[in-house]
């Protein structure tokens, strides 16, 4: 049994769904999931589809070629087809905070996350014992003003040599370079400890405390060159009160950070996220 996931978007027009489903059926496919959305303001059609093929002769490359020639060119589709059996490879970038790392590795170890983690990279050595306890290779790549370019080249070498599909910044406290962003567009996931677009920057809990907010939040988003302004994948909030100290806000917020980041990783790894004009479409 072969299973694929198809993601498409294009200008909205008649017969897209009918044409795609007919194409799947004509190639002996059995559709097990389909969902679509139309952005009326932009007039853009989005669709996610999962399809199974029982034939042992099924060829993914041949199927992609047929899909492109028979449908993609006709409707001017932007599309991607993934083999559902292949686990994407995720690199973890961390610094000194361990709460998100522990949560991700615990879920990974239990089989909750459909992915592989070839390595963990950090600009500090503090979290190496955690990587060792989970038997995941750990690379220490220090970053200073003087070594930033050298560190970036080392990061790229590791990512390419391990065929990494996407990167997760699990409280990695360094600004990611434009080179890395260009290499992995909409494939670098960050966790920000506020409900964006509120309280961008390095100390959002302190800003929230000074403002006297009644809810705090956490946001997972794709990295772009503009700080904390990339397409949002997942968010959540928690109620707080005037009795909360900054320490209380941080403790409450870290629980949110773990859940929000793990949910964003699941959505991305399961190919349920589409990005268009700095916004995301999240399929169920």
Q: What DSSP letter does each residue of 27-94 carry, written as one string?
A: TTEEEEEEEEEEETTTTEEEEEEEEEE--TT--HHHHHHHHIIIIIHHHT-EEEEEETTSPPBEEEEE
- φ, ψ dihedrals at 254, nearest 5°: -65, -35
The whole-chain average pLDDT of the chain stands at 93
Per-residue CA distances from 209 to 31, 255, 269 (Å): 50, 17, 34
Complete domains list, the chain, with CATH: 2-83 (3.30.70.260), 90-282 (3.40.50.170)
12 is annotated as an active-site residue: no
**What is the pLDDT, as a whole number, of residue 116?**
97
Q: Which of 132, 228, 236, 248 is catalytic?
A: 228
For 74-113, write each residue's pLDDT tens digit.
999 999 999 998 999 999 999 999 999 999 999 999 999 9
pLDDT at 273 over 90: yes
Per-residue CA distances from 201 to 188, 206, 230 (Å): 18, 11, 13
The torsion region of residue 57 among left (phi > 0), alpha (psi -120 to 50) and beta comes to alpha
Q: What is the pTM of this model?
A: 0.92
For 172-213, write each residue's pLDDT tens digit.
988 898 999 999 999 999 998 776 666 676 677 777 778 888
**What is the pLDDT, as a whole number, of residue 211?**
84
Give every CB contact of residue 27 below 8 A, 6+ residues apart in sequence.
53, 63, 66
Paired strand residues for 254:
none
CB 236 within 8 A of CB 259: yes
Paired strand residues for 215:
239
């Amino acid at each position: 049994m072969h299973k694929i996931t198809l993601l498409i978007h294009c200008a909205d027009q008649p017969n897209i769904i009918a044409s795609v489903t007919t194409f799947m059926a004509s190639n002996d496919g059995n559709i097990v999931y389909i969902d679509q959305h139309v952005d009326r303001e932009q007039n853009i059609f989005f669709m996610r589809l999962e399809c199974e093929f029982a034939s042992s002769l099924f060829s993914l490359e041949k199927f992609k070629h047929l899909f492109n020639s028979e449908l993609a060119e006709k409707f001017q589709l932007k599309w991607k087809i993934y083999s559902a059996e292949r686990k994407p490879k995720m690199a973890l970038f961390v610094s000194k905070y361990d709460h998100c790392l522990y949560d991700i590795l615990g879920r990974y170890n239990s089989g909750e996350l459909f992915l592989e983690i070839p390595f963990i990279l950090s600009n500090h050595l503090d979290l190496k014992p955690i990587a060792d306890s989970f038997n995941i290779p750990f690379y220490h790549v220090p970053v200073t003003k003087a070594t930033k370019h050298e560190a970036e080249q080392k990061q790229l070498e590791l990512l390419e040599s391990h065929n990494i599909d996407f990167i997760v910044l699990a409280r990695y406290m360094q600004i990611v370079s434009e080179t890395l962003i260009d290499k992995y567009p909409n494939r670098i996931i960050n966790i920000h400890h506020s409900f964006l677009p509120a309280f961008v920057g390095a100390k959002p809990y302190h800003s929230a405390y000074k403002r006297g907010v009644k809810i705090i939040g956490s946001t997972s988003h794709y990295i772009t060159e503009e700080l904390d302004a990339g397409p949002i994948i997942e968010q959540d909030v928690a109620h707080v009160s005037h009795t909360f100290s900054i320490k209380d806000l941080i403790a409450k917020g870290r629980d949110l950070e773990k859940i929000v980041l793990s949910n964003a990783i699941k959505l991305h790894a399961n190919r349920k996220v589409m990005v268009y004009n700095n916004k995301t479409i999240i399929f169920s």
